[in-house]
Every structure is written in structure tokens, then in C-alpha cells.
Amino acid sequence: EPEVTQTPSHQVTQMGQEVILRCVPISNHLYFYWYRQILGQKVEFLVSFYNNEISEKSEIFDDQFSVERPDGSNFTLKIRSTKLEDSAMYFCASSDLGADPEQYFGPGTRLTVT
Amino acid sequence: AQSVTQLGSHVSVSEGALVLLRCNYSSSVPPYLFWYVQYPNQGLQLLLKYTSAATLVKGINGFEAEFKKSETSFHLTKPSAHMSDAAEYFCAVTKNTGNQFYFGTGTSLTVIP
């Protein structure tokens, strides 16, 4: 069964460093998303991406964040200068173009900023 | 705008007892509703979804949920709890394909032997 994959599973970085989180969405999907979950809290939407551009973003997704689809298979989230409060689980998701809005979530990348 | 409210951040049931996790939604358009389960240090696994077909939806692991428009609810139930059901459960709503999901704050289910 096709699935969304994410790498790395755990990333530790120092405050102020740049990190890139990688995702491989399901191959025939056209919508891509990033969500985050701070420990013990709910899952929050960051950004959605369609047709090579951002289609929707939340207040959390400020200038420190960017997304890119560098090739036909990868979808990345870059945090330019990490802060302690960026420590969270980051989930990538993808969905098809059609009547079913289900989003398929990856296993997540746990980002720890020290 | 859409939102989801999950009443009860912690629910405890005895093994074999009925599980009822509550979810109420707010949506300006007909919603699509989802329940996800998250085991410790793992990702989100889809339990079931309502996409405007049958109002009673059956999912994996014996769970089901009923969409009640008049009550703006989508409560999750399971007739008989199993120890392996202990996890965090999230309700989510979206308005259409390609739109963001809005998640509830989650309900932690504990199953007592």
C-alpha cells in the first residue's frame, strides 16, 4: 500500500541553525501539507502546497519557514533559523485531487532544538 | 471557518466496556470528518472518515462513528474496549479536498484491566 515517508525520524539541532525536513508523498497525489505537533498538544496546520505553490498557510508559517518541491518526488520544509519553540513533531501529508479529502500522513520527524 | 471540540481530554474505561469519545464540530459548509489514533511516539493512523455518504461509519479495530448534523457531532464508539486501544485519539474536520485539517485537542484513552 502506498505511504508517505519522512526523513529523518529524529533531528537534533542547535538554536539558530537551519534544518530541512524531507518528505516523499504518495506518488500520484497532488496536494502536500506540513503539520506540527508540539509535545502534548494538538496537531496544527502549517502549510499546503499545490501546483508548485503555497495554496494555504497558517499564522505559524512565518518567514522562517519555507517549502519546496525540488523534484518530482520530494517535498521539503526548511526552517531557516531554529528556535527552541520549534521543537515538535512535524508531519507531512498528501492527498489526491478528487472528491475524497482524506490526507495521508507520514510517520513524522521529531525535531529537537537545543 | 471550521473547528473541532473534543470533550474530555482523558477518558478511562474498563477492559470490555463501551468506549465513547466525543467530538463536536463547527463548520460553515458541509464538513468532512475524521478520527485518527496516535500511539506513543508514533504517527497518525486513520480510524475512519465521514465524506457525506452513510452517516454511520465503520472503521478499523471495531470502531465506528455516527455523523449527526442536528447535533453537530461525530462521536467515536467501540462496544468493547481492548487493552490495545489505549492511545490518543484526534478528531479532525475539513471543508474540501486540498484544504487544511482542523484537529481537536485530543482525548487520551486509558483501558483499565
Q: Is A22 on the interface with B (CB under 8 A)?
A: no
Interface of B with A (CB under 8 A): 32, 34, 36, 41-44, 46, 49, 51, 90, 92, 94, 96-106
List pLDDT tens digits, range B1-41: 789 999 999 999 999 999 999 999 998 788 899 999 999 87
pLDDT in tens, B54-66: 899 999 999 999 9
pLDDT recorded at residue B96: 87
- Confirm or reject contact between A49 and chain B (CB < 8 A): no
For A73, A83, B40, B43, the CA distances from A12, given in Å and listed in that order, are 25, 12, 19, 19
Contact: A101, B96; criterion CB under 8 Å:
yes
- What is the pLDDT at residue A43? 93
- In this prediction, residue B43 carries a pLDDT of 85
Question: Nearest CA of chain B to the CA of A97: how many Å?
Answer: 7
Is the CB of A103 less than 8 angstroms away from the CB of B101? yes
Q: Residue A91: closest CA among chain B residues belongs to which residue? A: B43
Q: Are B88 and B73 in contact (CB under 8 A)?
A: no
Beta-carbon contacts of residue B23 (< 8 Å; ≥ 6 apart): B4, B5, B6, B33, B35, B65, B73, B74, B75, B76, B91, B104
**Could you identify the residue written with the cell 475524521?**
B34
Cell numbers for A92:
507531512
For B65-97, the pLDDT digits (tens) are: 999 999 999 999 999 999 999 999 999 999 888
**Per-residue pLDDT tens over the stretch A47-98:** 999 999 999 999 999 999 999 998 889 999 999 999 999 999 999 999 998 8
Chain A residues near residue B42 by CB distance under 8 angstroms: 107-108
Residues of A in contact with B107 (CB under 8 A): none
Q: Are strands A10-13 and A109-113 parallel, antiparallel or unpaired?
A: parallel
Nearest to A91 among B32, B43, B104 (CB): B43
